[in-house]
Amino acid sequence: MRLRSLSLIVVCLVAAVATGRARVTHEDLRRQVVEHERAFAATMAARDFEGFGRYLAREAVFMTGSSTQRGKEAVLNAWRRYYDGRQPPFSWEPGQVEVVESGTMAYSTGPVRDAAGRRIGSFNTVWRLEAPGRWAVVFDRGCDCTE
């Protein structure tokens, strides 16, 4: 009888904990990616190259024109020059973010602006959920198109 009572108490406690946890909604996930994209872009303004690297997945692929960098180290090598100097050569910000229904992948796109603030292109980034609340860039492509 004691075992049955103890089991019932454990089941009730587990149920209480499970219902007490807030579920992460689709909008919560979208907001996380928007915040990650803004923080990722802020590394350029802050001249924080190490911070930039923290947003990259190990197997990140960046495409610029006909050039492709495969892997985090290759991306870091190619992007180092953008973080040299006191003034950022460009900036970006999320304009639209969408998350797949499973909540594990997301797409962000938005304008790229030169140092004077003029729109010079667009970016397209695919993010992957690496851990709860932690997103990493898997694919990135910038273009000089302004649409």
> Taking all residues of the chain, what is their mean pLDDT, rounded to a whole number?
88
Q: Please check the confidence at residue 147 and state whether its pLDDT lies above 70.
A: no
pLDDT band at 109 (very low <50, low <70, confident <90, very high): very high
* Average pLDDT value for residue range 11-18: 46
Q: In 3D, which of 138, 141, 28, 37 has the Cα closest to residue 96?
A: 37
Q: In 3D, which of 82, 72, 79 has the Cα closest to residue 139?
A: 72
Give tens-digit pLDDT for 40-98. Answer: 999 999 999 999 999 999 999 999 888 999 999 999 999 999 999 999 999 999 999 99
Q: What is the pLDDT of residue 146?
A: 55
Q: What is the pLDDT of residue 10?
A: 43
Total residue count of the chain as it appears in this document: 147
pLDDT band at 11 (very low <50, low <70, confident <90, very high): very low
What is the set of domains in the chain, with CATH numbers? 25-143 (3.10.450.50)
The 3-class secondary structure across the chain, one letter per residue, is CHHHHHHHHHHHHHHHHHHHCCCCCHHHHHHHHHHHHHHHHHHHHCCCHHHHHHCEEEEEEEEECCEEEECHHHHHHHHHHHHCCCCCCEEECCCEEEECCCCCEEEEEEEEEECCCCEEEEEEEEEEEEECCEEEEEEEEEECCCC
Q: Please check the confidence at residue 145 and state whether its pLDDT lies above 80.
A: no
Q: What is the pLDDT of residue 66?
A: 87
Q: Please check the confidence at residue 118 and state whether its pLDDT lies above 70.
A: yes
* 20-29, 30-39, 82-91, 108-117, range with the lowest pLDDT: 20-29
